[in-house]
Structure 1
Amino acid sequence: MKQSIYRAMIELTNGRFTSNLLYRFARSNASRFAIAPFSKTYRINEDEIENELKSYQTLHEFFIRKLKADARSIDMHEESIVSPVDAVIEDIGSIDQDRRIMVKEKEYSISEMLGGDEAASKYAGGTYMIFYLSPSHYHRIHSPVTGEINKQWTLGRKSFPVNKWGLAFGRDTLSKNYRKISEVGYEGGELAIVKVGAMFVNSIERTHEGDKLEKGKEMAYFSFGSTVILLFQKDAFQLLPSIQTPAHIRVGECIGHMV
């Protein structure tokens, strides 16, 4: 019953009209007056922001803010793989041979997430990690490895919440939401970076140029809260033993090593 009510409410409030209202407001001059309350409500560390609070003209501009150059330290160990975002690691697990994962007691198809069996087959038996970004988080996405983008593609049209309620009661949010996928070749093999849109706003903007990626360098940003999923190939990734979910993580911190 709770699941049905939740889904009905989201279906009614996540339409084109309401999405456009939020989109237009966040980019309007009127939204400037919401910046300070937003920052206070979400306890954002204003000392690490690149610019002063008063310099942001819209809520959207503040939301996609950059940080000072020394705000994040990147683990540059040759074999390390780092967090692509400031987030909470909600789940870590194995991808079974049928290309399925279990998140919050719900089964998801990697084939559906990536758009087909061919794209998903290389990750069978591998590892997945799910990073959830709340509105309080820094929303720019950085590369977890040094490598080269082999392929990028976009799937899905509409998005539903990807917070704990969305994962528990939503309808295949991780595999059906609007999402942009980058497949990256690196020294340890190949990994998929799945950037999942959240409720209302599907904006996922690529910011880097070309196909070469450098570990810790920015590659994209989200508008509003969302999720990043990393998919690793079998026997290609060793998780840092100290990471236990849910784990708070920041851009550039080591999450594991190449095998």
Structure 2
Amino acid sequence: MTFNVFLQYILPHRFLSRIVYWATRWTFTPWKNWLIGTIVRNYDVNMSEAAQPDALSYQHFNAFFTRKLRPDARAADADPLALLCPADGRISQSGAIVDGRIFQAKGQDYSAAELLGDEASAQPYRDGSFVTVYLSPRDYHRVHMPMKGTLRETVHVPGRIFSVAPFAVEAIPRLFARNERLVCHFDGEHGPFVVVMVGAILVSSVATVWDGLVIPPYASSIRRKSFEGQNITLDRFAEMARFNMGSTVIMLLPAGMAALDALQPLQHVLVGQRIGHRSPG
């Protein structure tokens, strides 16, 4: 076990994340300008894509981190049957869910039931497919719909807040099924699908367009919220959520809903680009 991995087990995840939550919302100009400037320089952030390209004009670091893009900076694939990438970032893994298990990295896997919080919810995806997208600090941090869907339920699953950087994904067993996360269940035009917002150390805050800030507070037990009958329908490519700081998005599809493209680990992807093709019926 490397020292970096060892630290993941002993650090006070939630305590550190609470500190970062408030630090990234502090409006003290020298502080927020230093934080923003450090990220822009170290991660080569492309501010020309932002609706407000002046990085230091943002009220605080989190406003910069969750910045809107220009309307022409991203576009949905023109094919209405194209399965859209839900986030900017890099492909962590993608492919088939085999007997209910999802590949993580280098011999590591975890079950869909663990990820979603119960066995029944995982049944439609037992032999389906998945895409995992890792967002780095340089990326756009709003998550968009891969296809049109009506929100049925969210499930806030408590857990650790390990790093989701590649070194941790390769070393920590069942990492995505152990981290705090928000599971979003949708009903699509041809079946259900799931988008999971996975928290990470220092960056575990999640907000949705329908409920605002959901994480924090952190959960001590599974929290389910039904949206049945509320008719919250989001169009293909519409914004659905954001990370206040970055992390990982996992999408699960049932068997037969779509055929994934040949996505490669570490492949750079953008919101709205085609990552697969949905079945027409």
2:153 equivalent among 128, 151, 154: 151
Distance 2:248 2:85 in 1: 13
Q: 2:228 is matched with which residue?
A: none
The aligned amino acid for 1:254 is R
Distance 1:176 1:65 in 2: 29
Q: 1:164 is matched with which residue?
A: 166
Q: 1:96 is matched with which residue?
A: 98
Give the TM-score, by structure 2 length: 0.85
- Could you say if the C-alpha distance between residues 17 and 200 of structure 1 is closer, same or farther in structure 2, counting changes exceeding 3 Å? same
Shift of 1:7: 4.2
The aligned amino acid for 1:240 is D
Q: Secondary structure at the match of 2:38?
A: helix
Distance 1:139 1:176 in 2: 22
Q: Any conservation in 2 of the 1:193–1:229 contact (CA below 8 Å)?
A: yes
Q: Any conservation in 2 of the 1:14–1:160 contact (CA below 8 Å)?
A: no
Distance 2:64 2:177 in 1: 29
1:185 aligned to 2:187? Answer: yes
Distance 1:156 1:196 in 2: 11
Shift of 1:95: 1.1
The aligned amino acid for 2:45 is I
Distance 2:166 2:142 in 1: 21
Q: 1:40 is matched with which residue?
A: 41
Q: 1:71 is matched with which residue?
A: 73
1:13 aligned to 2:14? Answer: no
Q: Any conservation in 1 of the 2:93–2:103 contact (CA below 8 Å)?
A: no
CA deviations 1:159-213 (Å, max 9, x no partner) are 1111111111224221111111111111232111011001123211002476201
1:234 aligned to 2:255? Answer: yes
The aligned amino acid for 1:256 is G
Correspondence list, 1:47-86, <5 A: 47-51=48-52, 52-86=54-88
CA deviations 1:125-174 (Å, max 9, x no partner) are 11111100011110000111012112211102431111111111224221
Give the TM-score, by structure 1 length: 0.92
Q: Secondary structure at the match of 1:122?
A: helix
Count, aligned residues: 255
Q: 1:256 is matched with which residue?
A: 276
Greater Cα offset, 139-148 or 209-218: 209-218
The aligned amino acid for 1:237 is A
Correspondence list, 1:205-216, <5 A: 205-208=207-210, 211-216=232-237
Query: Structure 2, unaligned stretches of length 5 or more?
Result: 212-230
| Overall identity of the aligned pairs, in % | 31
Distance 1:150 1:23 in 2: 29
Q: Any conservation in 2 of the 1:159–1:173 contact (CA below 8 Å)?
A: no
Query: Structure 1, unaligned stretches of length 5 or more?
Result: none
Q: 2:222 is matched with which residue?
A: none
Distance 2:80 2:274 in 1: 11
Distance 1:37 1:7 in 2: 25
Distance 2:144 2:242 in 1: 9
